[in-house]
A and B are shown apart, each in its own frame.
Chain A
Amino acid sequence: MLKVTDLEAGYGGSQVLHALSLHVGDGETVVVLGPNGHGKSTLLRAISGLIRPSAGRVEFNGVDLTRLPTEQIVGSGVVHIPQGDLPFPEMTVLENLLVGAYRPGAWSERAERIEKVFHLFPALAERKRQLARSLSGGERRMLALGRGLMSKARLLMIDEPSLGLAPLVTEQVYETIDEIKRSGLAILLVDENAEHVAGLADRMYLLEAGVLVREGAAADLLRDEALLAAYLG
Protein backbone atom coordinates (compact mmCIF):
# COMPACT_ATOMS: atom_id res chain seq x y z
CA MET A 1 0.00 0.00 0.00
CA LEU A 2 2.51 2.52 1.21
CA LYS A 3 5.94 2.33 -0.27
CA VAL A 4 8.69 4.64 0.87
CA THR A 5 11.95 4.53 -1.04
CA ASP A 6 15.24 6.15 -0.13
CA LEU A 7 13.60 8.97 1.71
CA GLU A 8 15.78 11.84 2.83
CA ALA A 9 14.45 14.72 4.83
CA GLY A 10 15.48 17.23 7.43
CA TYR A 11 15.02 20.69 8.82
CA GLY A 12 16.92 23.72 7.64
CA GLY A 13 20.48 22.65 7.24
CA SER A 14 20.43 19.39 9.09
CA GLN A 15 19.41 16.14 7.52
CA VAL A 16 17.50 13.78 9.74
CA LEU A 17 16.46 10.89 7.57
CA HIS A 18 18.94 9.06 5.42
CA ALA A 19 17.97 6.84 2.51
CA LEU A 20 15.07 5.36 4.35
CA SER A 21 12.92 2.68 2.79
CA LEU A 22 9.94 0.94 4.21
CA HIS A 23 6.56 -0.37 3.19
CA VAL A 24 3.19 -1.05 4.70
CA GLY A 25 0.87 -3.60 3.21
CA ASP A 26 -2.88 -3.63 3.05
CA GLY A 27 -4.37 -4.02 6.50
CA GLU A 28 -0.95 -4.42 8.06
CA THR A 29 0.12 -2.84 11.29
CA VAL A 30 3.71 -1.74 11.05
CA VAL A 31 5.59 -0.28 13.98
CA VAL A 32 8.73 1.81 13.77
CA LEU A 33 10.62 1.83 17.02
CA GLY A 34 13.28 4.33 17.81
CA PRO A 35 14.71 6.47 20.57
CA ASN A 36 13.67 10.05 20.87
CA GLY A 37 15.14 12.51 18.46
CA HIS A 38 16.12 9.91 15.91
CA GLY A 39 13.65 10.87 13.31
CA LYS A 40 10.38 9.11 14.04
CA SER A 41 8.23 12.18 13.84
CA THR A 42 10.23 13.48 10.94
CA LEU A 43 9.45 10.31 9.05
CA LEU A 44 5.73 10.73 9.41
CA ARG A 45 5.88 14.41 8.63
CA ALA A 46 7.83 13.75 5.50
CA ILE A 47 5.25 11.25 4.35
CA SER A 48 2.28 13.45 5.13
CA GLY A 49 3.80 16.51 3.53
CA LEU A 50 4.26 18.74 6.53
CA ILE A 51 7.90 18.84 5.56
CA ARG A 52 9.24 18.26 2.11
CA PRO A 53 11.55 15.36 1.50
CA SER A 54 14.80 16.36 -0.10
CA ALA A 55 15.13 13.07 -1.92
CA GLY A 56 13.36 9.79 -2.29
CA ARG A 57 9.87 8.69 -3.12
CA VAL A 58 6.63 8.08 -1.31
CA GLU A 59 4.10 5.99 -3.11
CA PHE A 60 0.65 5.07 -1.96
CA ASN A 61 -1.34 2.53 -3.91
CA GLY A 62 0.68 3.42 -6.94
CA VAL A 63 0.18 7.16 -6.60
CA ASP A 64 3.29 9.26 -6.15
CA LEU A 65 2.76 11.41 -3.10
CA THR A 66 6.25 12.69 -2.71
CA ARG A 67 5.92 16.38 -3.26
CA LEU A 68 2.21 16.86 -3.15
CA PRO A 69 0.63 19.36 -0.79
CA THR A 70 -0.68 17.85 2.39
CA GLU A 71 -4.32 18.26 1.50
CA GLN A 72 -3.90 15.97 -1.47
CA ILE A 73 -1.96 13.41 0.49
CA VAL A 74 -4.73 13.30 3.01
CA GLY A 75 -7.21 13.09 0.20
CA SER A 76 -5.64 9.93 -1.05
CA GLY A 77 -6.22 8.24 2.27
CA VAL A 78 -3.04 8.74 4.26
CA VAL A 79 -3.99 10.27 7.60
CA HIS A 80 -1.32 11.44 10.02
CA ILE A 81 -2.10 11.81 13.69
CA PRO A 82 0.76 13.83 15.08
CA GLN A 83 2.53 13.57 18.38
CA GLY A 84 1.03 15.08 21.51
CA ASP A 85 -1.70 16.52 19.38
CA LEU A 86 -3.67 19.30 20.88
CA PRO A 87 -6.83 19.26 18.83
CA PHE A 88 -8.45 22.51 17.92
CA PRO A 89 -8.71 23.92 21.39
CA GLU A 90 -11.54 26.37 20.92
CA MET A 91 -13.84 23.93 19.23
CA THR A 92 -16.11 21.39 20.82
CA VAL A 93 -15.45 17.69 20.61
CA LEU A 94 -18.14 17.40 17.99
CA GLU A 95 -16.67 20.21 15.90
CA ASN A 96 -13.23 18.71 16.19
CA LEU A 97 -14.52 15.48 14.76
CA LEU A 98 -16.36 17.28 12.01
CA VAL A 99 -13.18 18.97 10.88
CA GLY A 100 -11.75 15.54 10.45
CA ALA A 101 -14.40 14.85 7.87
CA TYR A 102 -13.59 17.93 5.84
CA ARG A 103 -12.77 16.18 2.61
CA PRO A 104 -15.82 15.99 0.31
CA GLY A 105 -15.98 12.24 0.28
CA ALA A 106 -16.00 12.01 4.02
CA TRP A 107 -18.22 15.02 4.61
CA SER A 108 -21.26 13.49 3.10
CA GLU A 109 -20.91 10.51 5.36
CA ARG A 110 -20.14 12.47 8.46
CA ALA A 111 -23.19 11.46 10.44
CA GLU A 112 -22.41 7.76 10.18
CA ARG A 113 -18.74 8.26 10.84
CA ILE A 114 -19.45 10.22 13.97
CA GLU A 115 -21.65 7.40 15.15
CA LYS A 116 -18.82 4.95 14.64
CA VAL A 117 -16.33 7.13 16.44
CA PHE A 118 -18.65 7.64 19.37
CA HIS A 119 -19.14 3.93 19.49
CA LEU A 120 -15.43 3.43 19.67
CA PHE A 121 -14.89 6.21 22.18
CA PRO A 122 -17.87 6.44 24.48
CA ALA A 123 -16.07 8.98 26.64
CA LEU A 124 -16.06 11.36 23.72
CA ALA A 125 -19.74 10.85 23.10
CA GLU A 126 -20.51 12.02 26.59
CA ARG A 127 -18.45 15.17 26.10
CA LYS A 128 -19.47 16.06 22.61
CA ARG A 129 -20.39 19.64 23.41
CA GLN A 130 -17.38 20.28 25.57
CA LEU A 131 -14.54 22.47 24.40
CA ALA A 132 -11.49 20.50 23.44
CA ARG A 133 -9.18 22.40 25.69
CA SER A 134 -11.05 21.23 28.72
CA LEU A 135 -10.42 17.59 27.99
CA SER A 136 -7.86 15.52 29.85
CA GLY A 137 -4.71 14.30 28.16
CA GLY A 138 -6.10 10.89 27.48
CA GLU A 139 -9.36 12.22 26.16
CA ARG A 140 -7.52 14.53 23.81
CA ARG A 141 -5.56 11.65 22.46
CA MET A 142 -8.77 9.74 21.87
CA LEU A 143 -10.16 12.78 20.15
CA ALA A 144 -7.14 12.95 17.90
CA LEU A 145 -7.52 9.30 17.02
CA GLY A 146 -11.21 9.72 16.48
CA ARG A 147 -10.64 12.69 14.27
CA GLY A 148 -8.23 10.69 12.20
CA LEU A 149 -10.94 8.12 11.67
CA MET A 150 -13.45 10.65 10.45
CA SER A 151 -11.82 10.94 7.10
CA LYS A 152 -11.78 8.12 4.67
CA ALA A 153 -8.45 6.91 5.90
CA ARG A 154 -6.91 3.87 4.34
CA LEU A 155 -3.66 4.20 6.25
CA LEU A 156 -3.45 5.72 9.69
CA MET A 157 -0.07 7.05 10.75
CA ILE A 158 0.14 7.49 14.49
CA ASP A 159 2.96 9.26 16.30
CA GLU A 160 3.69 8.10 19.84
CA PRO A 161 0.10 7.76 21.00
CA SER A 162 0.99 7.28 24.62
CA LEU A 163 3.33 10.22 25.04
CA GLY A 164 2.79 11.85 28.38
CA LEU A 165 -0.17 9.75 29.40
CA ALA A 166 -0.76 7.94 32.64
CA PRO A 167 -0.40 4.13 32.51
CA LEU A 168 -4.09 3.36 32.78
CA VAL A 169 -4.97 5.73 29.99
CA THR A 170 -2.13 4.38 27.92
CA GLU A 171 -3.68 0.94 28.13
CA GLN A 172 -6.96 2.26 26.85
CA VAL A 173 -5.34 4.09 23.99
CA TYR A 174 -3.55 1.00 22.78
CA GLU A 175 -6.66 -1.10 23.16
CA THR A 176 -8.46 1.35 20.96
CA ILE A 177 -5.74 1.19 18.39
CA ASP A 178 -6.08 -2.54 18.50
CA GLU A 179 -9.76 -2.23 17.72
CA ILE A 180 -8.95 0.06 14.83
CA LYS A 181 -6.51 -2.52 13.61
CA ARG A 182 -9.15 -5.18 13.80
CA SER A 183 -11.46 -3.11 11.69
CA GLY A 184 -9.04 -3.65 8.87
CA LEU A 185 -7.31 -0.31 8.62
CA ALA A 186 -3.60 -0.28 7.85
CA ILE A 187 -1.57 1.39 10.55
CA LEU A 188 1.93 2.84 10.65
CA LEU A 189 2.79 3.55 14.22
CA VAL A 190 5.98 5.09 15.52
CA ASP A 191 6.87 4.69 19.13
CA GLU A 192 9.73 4.76 21.57
CA ASN A 193 8.75 1.89 23.75
CA ALA A 194 8.06 -1.65 22.59
CA GLU A 195 6.05 -2.66 25.59
CA HIS A 196 2.60 -1.86 24.35
CA VAL A 197 3.02 -2.35 20.69
CA ALA A 198 4.16 -5.88 21.06
CA GLY A 199 0.69 -7.22 20.64
CA LEU A 200 -0.24 -4.91 17.83
CA ALA A 201 2.56 -5.10 15.36
CA ASP A 202 2.70 -7.37 12.37
CA ARG A 203 6.07 -6.10 11.30
CA MET A 204 8.60 -3.84 12.92
CA TYR A 205 11.43 -1.57 11.97
CA LEU A 206 14.09 -0.08 14.14
CA LEU A 207 15.07 3.50 13.51
CA GLU A 208 18.33 4.87 14.80
CA ALA A 209 19.86 8.18 13.86
CA GLY A 210 17.60 8.50 10.87
CA VAL A 211 18.45 5.10 9.44
CA LEU A 212 16.42 1.92 9.58
CA VAL A 213 18.72 -0.61 11.15
CA ARG A 214 16.53 -3.66 11.55
CA GLU A 215 13.44 -4.98 9.94
CA GLY A 216 11.40 -8.06 10.35
CA ALA A 217 8.29 -9.78 11.52
CA ALA A 218 7.31 -8.54 14.94
CA ALA A 219 7.44 -11.95 16.47
CA ASP A 220 11.07 -12.42 15.43
CA LEU A 221 12.29 -9.07 16.64
CA LEU A 222 10.57 -9.41 19.92
CA ARG A 223 12.37 -12.61 20.70
CA ASP A 224 15.68 -10.78 20.50
CA GLU A 225 16.96 -10.33 24.06
CA ALA A 226 19.16 -7.36 23.36
CA LEU A 227 16.34 -5.57 21.71
CA LEU A 228 14.01 -6.27 24.55
CA ALA A 229 16.47 -4.78 26.96
CA ALA A 230 16.98 -1.67 24.93
CA TYR A 231 13.39 -0.94 24.07
CA LEU A 232 11.34 -2.11 26.94
CA GLY A 233 10.56 -0.17 30.05
Chain B
Amino acid sequence: MEIPNRLVQALYSGVLNGSVYGLMAIGLTLIWGSLRMLNLAHGALYIAGAYIAYGVLGGLGLPVPVTFALAVGGAALVGLFIQLILINPILEKPGRDSAALIATLAASIIVQSTILLIFGGQTKQLPPVVDGGFKVGTTLISYQGLVVIGAAVVCLLLMTIFLRASRLGLAIRAISQNMDAAKLMGIPIVPAFVVVMVISAALAGLAGVLLGSILFFTPSGGFTPMLMAMVVTIFGGLGSVGGTIWAAYIIGLMESFLAVYVGPSWALPGIFLFMIAMLVIRPNGLLGLGEVRRL
Protein backbone atom coordinates (compact mmCIF):
# COMPACT_ATOMS: atom_id res chain seq x y z
CA MET B 1 0.00 0.00 0.00
CA GLU B 2 1.36 3.37 -0.84
CA ILE B 3 1.81 5.65 2.10
CA PRO B 4 0.12 9.02 1.71
CA ASN B 5 3.17 10.98 2.72
CA ARG B 6 1.68 14.38 2.82
CA LEU B 7 -1.20 13.16 4.89
CA VAL B 8 1.10 11.56 7.42
CA GLN B 9 3.23 14.66 7.60
CA ALA B 10 0.24 16.88 8.06
CA LEU B 11 -1.26 14.64 10.71
CA TYR B 12 1.95 14.35 12.66
CA SER B 13 2.74 18.08 12.64
CA GLY B 14 -0.85 18.88 13.31
CA VAL B 15 -1.09 16.73 16.39
CA LEU B 16 2.27 17.98 17.59
CA ASN B 17 1.39 21.62 17.17
CA GLY B 18 -2.08 21.06 18.49
CA SER B 19 -0.76 19.55 21.68
CA VAL B 20 1.45 22.50 22.35
CA TYR B 21 -1.22 25.01 21.43
CA GLY B 22 -3.51 23.24 23.83
CA LEU B 23 -1.09 23.69 26.68
CA MET B 24 -0.75 27.36 26.00
CA ALA B 25 -4.35 28.02 25.26
CA ILE B 26 -5.66 26.42 28.45
CA GLY B 27 -3.74 28.92 30.48
CA LEU B 28 -5.07 31.81 28.44
CA THR B 29 -8.62 30.63 28.66
CA LEU B 30 -8.41 30.13 32.41
CA ILE B 31 -7.05 33.60 32.90
CA TRP B 32 -9.66 35.03 30.63
CA GLY B 33 -12.43 33.13 32.31
CA SER B 34 -11.58 34.11 35.83
CA LEU B 35 -9.71 37.38 35.58
CA ARG B 36 -11.50 38.61 32.48
CA MET B 37 -8.14 39.66 31.21
CA LEU B 38 -6.03 39.00 28.18
CA ASN B 39 -2.57 37.98 29.28
CA LEU B 40 -0.18 39.50 26.77
CA ALA B 41 2.74 38.15 28.74
CA HIS B 42 1.86 34.59 27.87
CA GLY B 43 4.28 34.36 24.97
CA ALA B 44 7.06 35.62 27.17
CA LEU B 45 6.29 32.97 29.78
CA TYR B 46 6.41 30.34 27.07
CA ILE B 47 9.81 31.41 25.86
CA ALA B 48 11.03 31.87 29.42
CA GLY B 49 10.46 28.19 29.99
CA ALA B 50 12.67 27.32 27.07
CA TYR B 51 15.41 29.72 28.10
CA ILE B 52 15.42 28.72 31.74
CA ALA B 53 15.83 25.13 30.67
CA TYR B 54 18.62 26.16 28.36
CA GLY B 55 20.36 28.12 31.06
CA VAL B 56 20.04 25.40 33.65
CA LEU B 57 21.31 22.79 31.26
CA GLY B 58 24.24 24.88 30.26
CA GLY B 59 25.03 26.07 33.72
CA LEU B 60 24.25 23.22 36.03
CA GLY B 61 24.29 20.21 33.78
CA LEU B 62 21.47 18.46 35.56
CA PRO B 63 19.70 15.51 33.99
CA VAL B 64 17.23 16.57 31.38
CA PRO B 65 13.96 15.72 33.13
CA VAL B 66 15.04 17.63 36.23
CA THR B 67 15.98 20.57 34.07
CA PHE B 68 12.64 20.58 32.39
CA ALA B 69 10.88 20.46 35.74
CA LEU B 70 12.95 23.39 36.97
CA ALA B 71 12.12 25.33 33.84
CA VAL B 72 8.43 24.82 34.35
CA GLY B 73 8.79 25.85 37.96
CA GLY B 74 10.78 28.87 36.90
CA ALA B 75 8.13 29.96 34.48
CA ALA B 76 5.53 29.52 37.20
CA LEU B 77 7.58 31.73 39.48
CA VAL B 78 7.81 34.43 36.85
CA GLY B 79 4.08 34.22 36.47
CA LEU B 80 3.71 34.54 40.21
CA PHE B 81 5.78 37.69 40.24
CA ILE B 82 3.81 39.17 37.42
CA GLN B 83 0.58 38.45 39.19
CA LEU B 84 1.65 39.79 42.54
CA ILE B 85 3.48 42.85 41.37
CA LEU B 86 1.58 43.92 38.33
CA ILE B 87 -1.86 42.43 38.32
CA ASN B 88 -3.08 42.34 41.87
CA PRO B 89 -2.53 46.04 42.47
CA ILE B 90 -4.66 47.03 39.53
CA LEU B 91 -7.52 44.63 40.06
CA GLU B 92 -9.64 47.05 41.96
CA LYS B 93 -8.93 50.14 39.95
CA PRO B 94 -11.24 51.60 37.37
CA GLY B 95 -9.90 51.35 33.85
CA ARG B 96 -8.33 48.09 34.86
CA ASP B 97 -8.90 46.57 31.42
CA SER B 98 -6.52 48.88 29.65
CA ALA B 99 -4.20 48.90 32.63
CA ALA B 100 -4.11 45.11 32.49
CA LEU B 101 -3.25 45.19 28.80
CA ILE B 102 -0.42 47.61 29.40
CA ALA B 103 0.78 45.82 32.49
CA THR B 104 0.99 42.42 30.83
CA LEU B 105 2.57 43.96 27.76
CA ALA B 106 5.12 45.60 30.01
CA ALA B 107 5.78 42.30 31.74
CA SER B 108 6.30 40.67 28.39
CA ILE B 109 8.84 43.30 27.37
CA ILE B 110 10.68 43.04 30.64
CA VAL B 111 10.93 39.27 30.45
CA GLN B 112 11.97 39.26 26.82
CA SER B 113 14.58 41.94 27.09
CA THR B 114 16.00 40.33 30.21
CA ILE B 115 16.33 37.10 28.30
CA LEU B 116 17.95 38.99 25.45
CA LEU B 117 20.43 40.54 27.81
CA ILE B 118 21.33 37.29 29.47
CA PHE B 119 21.35 34.92 26.55
CA GLY B 120 21.84 37.05 23.48
CA GLY B 121 19.76 36.99 20.36
CA GLN B 122 21.04 33.99 18.45
CA THR B 123 18.75 31.08 17.99
CA LYS B 124 19.09 28.28 20.45
CA GLN B 125 17.79 24.81 20.82
CA LEU B 126 17.28 22.39 23.64
CA PRO B 127 18.58 18.83 23.43
CA PRO B 128 15.84 16.26 23.14
CA VAL B 129 15.01 13.88 25.95
CA VAL B 130 15.30 10.95 23.59
CA ASP B 131 17.15 10.85 20.35
CA GLY B 132 16.21 9.36 17.09
CA GLY B 133 13.02 8.54 15.38
CA PHE B 134 11.52 6.45 12.69
CA LYS B 135 10.16 7.08 9.30
CA VAL B 136 6.73 6.56 8.00
CA GLY B 137 7.12 7.02 4.30
CA THR B 138 8.99 10.28 3.94
CA THR B 139 7.87 11.70 7.24
CA LEU B 140 10.34 11.64 10.07
CA ILE B 141 8.59 11.00 13.34
CA SER B 142 11.05 11.70 16.08
CA TYR B 143 10.77 10.06 19.45
CA GLN B 144 11.07 13.46 20.95
CA GLY B 145 8.02 14.52 19.03
CA LEU B 146 6.14 11.60 20.51
CA VAL B 147 7.37 12.52 23.95
CA VAL B 148 6.09 16.03 23.44
CA ILE B 149 2.71 14.81 22.33
CA GLY B 150 2.56 12.36 25.17
CA ALA B 151 3.54 14.88 27.80
CA ALA B 152 1.07 17.43 26.49
CA VAL B 153 -1.79 14.98 26.39
CA VAL B 154 -1.05 13.83 29.92
CA CYS B 155 -0.99 17.41 31.15
CA LEU B 156 -4.18 18.30 29.38
CA LEU B 157 -5.89 15.32 30.94
CA LEU B 158 -4.55 16.20 34.35
CA MET B 159 -5.81 19.74 33.99
CA THR B 160 -9.24 18.57 32.99
CA ILE B 161 -9.41 16.20 35.94
CA PHE B 162 -8.16 18.89 38.25
CA LEU B 163 -10.81 21.30 37.12
CA ARG B 164 -13.62 18.80 37.32
CA ALA B 165 -12.82 16.89 40.43
CA SER B 166 -10.93 19.03 42.87
CA ARG B 167 -12.23 21.63 45.27
CA LEU B 168 -9.89 24.27 43.88
CA GLY B 169 -10.79 23.40 40.32
CA LEU B 170 -14.44 23.74 41.19
CA ALA B 171 -13.75 27.12 42.70
CA ILE B 172 -11.91 28.32 39.59
CA ARG B 173 -14.74 27.20 37.36
CA ALA B 174 -17.22 28.89 39.63
CA ILE B 175 -15.37 32.17 39.49
CA SER B 176 -15.25 32.10 35.73
CA GLN B 177 -18.94 31.37 35.41
CA ASN B 178 -20.30 33.81 37.94
CA MET B 179 -17.88 35.83 40.00
CA ASP B 180 -20.37 37.40 42.36
CA ALA B 181 -21.99 34.09 43.13
CA ALA B 182 -18.56 32.59 43.70
CA LYS B 183 -17.76 35.31 46.19
CA LEU B 184 -20.98 34.60 47.97
CA MET B 185 -19.93 31.01 48.34
CA GLY B 186 -16.98 32.18 50.29
CA ILE B 187 -14.41 31.55 47.57
CA PRO B 188 -11.40 33.81 48.09
CA ILE B 189 -11.02 35.56 44.78
CA VAL B 190 -7.55 37.02 44.83
CA PRO B 191 -5.77 33.83 45.93
CA ALA B 192 -7.69 32.01 43.23
CA PHE B 193 -6.42 34.46 40.64
CA VAL B 194 -2.88 33.86 41.79
CA VAL B 195 -3.32 30.12 41.48
CA VAL B 196 -4.77 30.50 38.01
CA MET B 197 -1.88 32.65 36.89
CA VAL B 198 0.71 30.30 38.31
CA ILE B 199 -0.87 27.28 36.67
CA SER B 200 -1.18 29.08 33.41
CA ALA B 201 2.43 30.24 33.53
CA ALA B 202 3.60 26.73 34.32
CA LEU B 203 1.70 25.34 31.36
CA ALA B 204 3.11 28.00 29.07
CA GLY B 205 6.60 27.28 30.32
CA LEU B 206 6.06 23.59 29.76
CA ALA B 207 4.93 24.26 26.23
CA GLY B 208 8.07 26.29 25.67
CA VAL B 209 10.32 23.63 27.05
CA LEU B 210 8.66 20.90 25.03
CA LEU B 211 8.75 22.75 21.75
CA GLY B 212 12.20 24.09 22.46
CA SER B 213 13.59 20.63 22.00
CA ILE B 214 12.14 20.40 18.54
CA LEU B 215 12.27 23.90 17.15
CA PHE B 216 14.75 26.70 17.42
CA PHE B 217 13.88 29.62 19.59
CA THR B 218 14.83 33.28 20.02
CA PRO B 219 13.90 35.76 22.72
CA SER B 220 11.02 37.14 20.71
CA GLY B 221 9.91 33.69 19.65
CA GLY B 222 6.98 33.60 21.98
CA PHE B 223 4.91 36.04 20.01
CA THR B 224 3.61 33.86 17.23
CA PRO B 225 2.73 30.88 19.46
CA MET B 226 0.89 33.26 21.74
CA LEU B 227 -1.01 34.63 18.80
CA MET B 228 -1.96 31.10 17.78
CA ALA B 229 -2.93 30.29 21.33
CA MET B 230 -5.19 33.33 21.31
CA VAL B 231 -6.79 32.10 18.11
CA VAL B 232 -7.33 28.71 19.70
CA THR B 233 -8.77 30.23 22.82
CA ILE B 234 -11.24 32.29 20.89
CA PHE B 235 -12.12 29.45 18.58
CA GLY B 236 -12.76 27.15 21.49
CA GLY B 237 -14.78 29.73 23.29
CA LEU B 238 -13.31 32.05 25.84
CA GLY B 239 -13.42 30.40 29.21
CA SER B 240 -14.31 26.93 28.04
CA VAL B 241 -11.59 24.42 28.76
CA GLY B 242 -13.07 21.51 26.89
CA GLY B 243 -13.70 23.61 23.83
CA THR B 244 -10.17 24.93 23.96
CA ILE B 245 -8.62 21.50 23.85
CA TRP B 246 -10.69 20.56 20.84
CA ALA B 247 -9.91 23.85 19.19
CA ALA B 248 -6.20 23.40 19.78
CA TYR B 249 -6.06 20.21 17.79
CA ILE B 250 -8.36 21.46 15.10
CA ILE B 251 -6.31 24.58 14.59
CA GLY B 252 -3.08 22.62 14.79
CA LEU B 253 -4.26 20.24 12.12
CA MET B 254 -5.65 23.03 10.01
CA GLU B 255 -2.35 24.84 10.14
CA SER B 256 -0.32 21.83 9.18
CA PHE B 257 -2.68 20.78 6.42
CA LEU B 258 -2.47 24.26 4.98
CA ALA B 259 1.29 24.19 5.25
CA VAL B 260 1.67 20.79 3.65
CA TYR B 261 -0.93 20.96 0.95
CA VAL B 262 -0.96 24.64 0.05
CA GLY B 263 2.35 26.04 1.16
CA PRO B 264 4.09 26.99 4.39
CA SER B 265 3.62 30.70 3.96
CA TRP B 266 -0.10 30.16 3.69
CA ALA B 267 -0.51 28.53 7.05
CA LEU B 268 -0.68 31.61 9.23
CA PRO B 269 -2.64 33.82 6.85
CA GLY B 270 -5.05 30.97 6.23
CA ILE B 271 -5.69 30.50 9.92
CA PHE B 272 -6.22 34.18 10.47
CA LEU B 273 -8.57 34.50 7.56
CA PHE B 274 -10.48 31.52 8.86
CA MET B 275 -10.66 33.12 12.24
CA ILE B 276 -11.94 36.39 10.86
CA ALA B 277 -14.59 34.53 8.96
CA MET B 278 -15.56 32.61 12.06
CA LEU B 279 -15.74 35.68 14.24
CA VAL B 280 -18.03 37.33 11.78
CA ILE B 281 -20.29 34.35 11.35
CA ARG B 282 -20.26 32.76 14.76
CA PRO B 283 -18.76 34.97 17.42
CA ASN B 284 -19.34 32.57 20.25
CA GLY B 285 -16.68 30.18 19.20
CA LEU B 286 -17.02 26.49 18.76
CA LEU B 287 -18.19 25.41 22.16
CA GLY B 288 -17.96 28.69 23.89
CA LEU B 289 -19.83 30.17 26.74
CA GLY B 290 -20.94 33.02 24.63
CA GLU B 291 -19.66 36.53 24.35
CA VAL B 292 -18.48 38.10 27.50
CA ARG B 293 -19.54 41.68 27.99
CA ARG B 294 -16.30 43.10 29.24
CA LEU B 295 -13.10 43.57 27.31
Q: Which residues of A contact B (CB under 8 A)?
A: 48-50, 69-71, 74-75, 79-82, 85-91, 95, 98-100, 102-103, 107, 147, 151
Per the bound structure, the CA–CA distance linking A69 and B192 in Å amounts to: 14
A-B contact count (CB 8 A): 68
Q: Are B167 and A71 in contact (CB under 8 A)?
A: no
B181: Cβ under 8 A from any A Cβ: yes
Q: Are B171 and A102 in contact (CB under 8 A)?
A: yes
Per the bound structure, the CA–CA distance linking A86 and B177 in Å amounts to: 10
Segment at the interface with A among B40-48, B182-190, B255-263, B266-274: B182-190
Shortest B293–chain A CB gap in Å is 14
Contacts A71-B189, A90-B289 known; list 6 others, CB within 8 Å: A69-B188, A81-B184, A99-B174, A102-B186, A151-B185, A151-B186
Q: Are B170 and A98 in contact (CB under 8 A)?
A: yes
The total of chain B residues at the interface (CB under 8 A) is 19
B178: Cβ under 8 A from any A Cβ: yes
Nearest-CB residue, chain A, relative to B189? A71
Nearest-CB residue, chain B, relative to A87? B181
A80 with B184: in contact, given A98-B170, A107-B167 (CB under 8 Å)? yes
Per the bound structure, the CA–CA distance linking A95 and B185 in Å amounts to: 13
Partner of A70, one of B170, B174, B178, B184: B184
Q: Are A82 and B184 in contact (CB under 8 A)?
A: yes
The 8 closest A-B pairs by CB, nearest first: A74-B186, A70-B183, A88-B177, A103-B186, A71-B188, A99-B174, A71-B186, A102-B185
Shortest A109–chain B CB gap in Å is 13
Q: Are A102 and B289 in contact (CB under 8 A)?
A: no
Q: Are B181 and A85 in contact (CB under 8 A)?
A: yes
Shortest B195–chain A CB gap in Å is 14
A71 with B187: in contact, given A50-B180, A85-B181 (CB under 8 Å)? yes
Per the bound structure, the CA–CA distance linking A70 and B181 in Å amounts to: 10
Q: Are A100 and B170 in contact (CB under 8 A)?
A: no
Chain A residues with Cβ below 8 Å from B180 are 50, 82
Per the bound structure, the CA–CA distance linking A79 and B183 in Å amounts to: 10
Partner of A74, one of B170, B177, B178, B185: B185
Partner of B184, one of A48, A86, A98: A48
Which residues 121-142 in B have Cβ within 8 Å of A in the complex? none
Q: Are A102 and B167 in contact (CB under 8 A)?
A: yes
Per the bound structure, the CA–CA distance linking A90 and B33 in Å amounts to: 13
Chain B residues with Cβ below 8 Å from A91 are 170, 173-174, 177
Nearest-CB residue, chain B, relative to A49? B183
Per the bound structure, the CA–CA distance linking A21 and B289 in Å amounts to: 41
Chain B residues with Cβ below 8 Å from A98 are 170
Which residues 177-223 in B have Cβ within 8 Å of A in the complex? 177-178, 180-189
27 of the cross-chain contacts (CB-CB < 8 Å) are A49-B183, A50-B183, A50-B184, A70-B183, A71-B186, A71-B189, A74-B184, A74-B185, A82-B181, A87-B178, A87-B181, A88-B173, A88-B174, A88-B177, A90-B177, A90-B240, A90-B289, A91-B173, A91-B174, A95-B170, A99-B174, A99-B187, A102-B174, A103-B185, A107-B167, A151-B185, A151-B186
Chain A residues with Cβ below 8 Å from B173 are 88, 90-91
Shortest B257–chain A CB gap in Å is 31
Chain A residues with Cβ below 8 Å from B188 are 69, 71
Per the bound structure, the CA–CA distance linking A82 and B182 in Å amounts to: 12
Q: Are B289 and A147 in contact (CB under 8 A)?
A: no
Chain A residues with Cβ below 8 Å from B189 are 69, 71
Nearest-CB residue, chain B, relative to A144? B181
Q: Are B171 and A99 in contact (CB under 8 A)?
A: yes
Per the bound structure, the CA–CA distance linking A168 and B179 in Å amounts to: 31
Shortest A48–chain B CB gap in Å is 6
